[in-house]
Structure 1
Amino acid sequence: MPAPELSLSVRVVRFPEAPLHRAALPRHMVARWIRAALAPDVQAAEIAVRVVDAEEGQTLNRDYRQKDYATNVLTFDYSHAPLLAADLVLCAPVVAREAAELNKPLAEHYAHLLVHGVLHAQGWDHETSEADAEAMEARETQIMAALGLPDPYADSDNANS
């Protein structure tokens, strides 16, 4: 089966550490990570990735999820298979802090969060039940392994939102 067509936009807003985050997100790798998370019924995907500072991350999470803190990844999905359209917003300071706490390379943590966000865009939800959370984590682990990356939940009790 041919890979789905992917229209991808990657933007990093201006903030002091932006070059570090830009370097962790080479476009070809972002495309690879996103493609790996697409379900077989997705024929094409339009994904915008935006990396933001803590202020914008908190504002978006507060305004759209009524949670007044910056979170690692927010997913805004607009359509599902066969055409998937979504915006993924990653909060750089949160991602960097988590990567450091987990002792993982920044790019590896971004890969996991992009996979996580793309699964959310396709209807996966870890907040509905423990069974759904376990299924989503298992799928993320499977995708990460296919990418040659370690289990994001190994040695960690932290689930991502």
Structure 2
Amino acid sequence: MPVLELDLQIATEETQHLPTQGQFAQWAQAALPQSGDEYEITIRIVDIEESQSLNHEYRGKDKPTNVLSFPFEAPEGIELPLLGDLVVCRQIVENEASEQKKPVLNHWAHLIIHGILHLRGYDHLNDEDAEEMESIEIDLLTLFSIPNPYLINE
């Protein structure tokens, strides 16, 4: 099992319905390689303004987004257990969960796992990579009894 040092930063005004630090850690740990390796991750929970600003600055998209992943790239010759940072927009997560008729905690779990996989180098830029990443997400979410998030609710 991976050893995780989680830095949880709450930078949102509304905190009443946020997952606990323990829940964030469980979801993040599930998405890490299941070895005894050490990992450091920062998860920052933000409001729309910060999400939009970061998405514009780093991705050229002038709108907020659910999760941004910032993998850490150590300088050559330096080894650190720092995997990177996730920035998650509380309002987007809550709105998407409502629109998709999903329990909000299930959506939080999905997006944390999704973001950690991005930190590990997975992406969904083409159909093959998207299928691989989604398959891993689905498998990991079943560990928490969370159904496939990609099934369309009718």
Mapped partners of 1:126, 1:41: distance in 2:
25
Gaps (5+ residues) in structure 2?
A: none
Cα offset for 1:40? 3.4
C-alpha RMSD of matched pairs (Å): 1.9
Would you say 1:65 and 2:62 are equivalent positions? no
Shift of 1:29: 1.0
Corresponding position of 2:150: 153
* Counterpart for residue 141 of structure 1: 138
Runs of 4+ residues over 6 Å off in structure 1? none
1:10 equivalent in alignment to 2:4: no
Task: Please tell me whether the aligned partners of residues 42 and 84 of structure 1 are also in contact (alpha carbons under 8 angstroms).
Answer: no
State the distance in 1 between where 2:15 and 2:144 align: 24
The alignment status of 1:114 with 2:112, answered yes or no, reads yes
Q: How far 1:31 moved relative to its partner? A: 0.8
Distance 1:9 1:67, change over 3 A: same
Query: Distance in 2 between the 1:54 and 1:42 partners?
Result: 36
Tell me if 1:28 matches 2:22.
yes
- Distance in structure 2 (CA, Å) of the matches to 1:154 and 1:42: 33
Unpaired stretches in structure 1, ≥5 consecutive residues: 157-161
- Classify the secondary structure of the residue corresponding to 1:69: coil
Shift of 1:5: 1.2
TM-score, normalised to structure 1's length?
0.85
Output the amino acid matched with 1:83.
Answer: P
The CA deviation string for residues 105-144 of structure 1, in whole angstroms up to 9 with x for no partner, is: 21111100000000000000002x1110111111100110
Identity %: 39
Q: How many residues align?
A: 149
User: For the residues of structure 1 that align with 2:32 and 2:73, how far apart are their CA atoms?
Assistant: 13
Query: Which residue type is aligned with residue 115 of structure 1?
Result: I
Contact 1:57 1:90 in 2 (8 A): yes
Partner residue of 1:159?
none
Of the three residues 29, 33, 40, the one matched with 1:39 is 33
Matched residue SS, 2:41: strand
Which residue of structure 2 aligns with residue 53 of structure 1?
A: 47
Cα distance in 2 between the residues matched to 1:14 and 1:109: 18
Q: Does 1:74 align with 2:72?
A: no
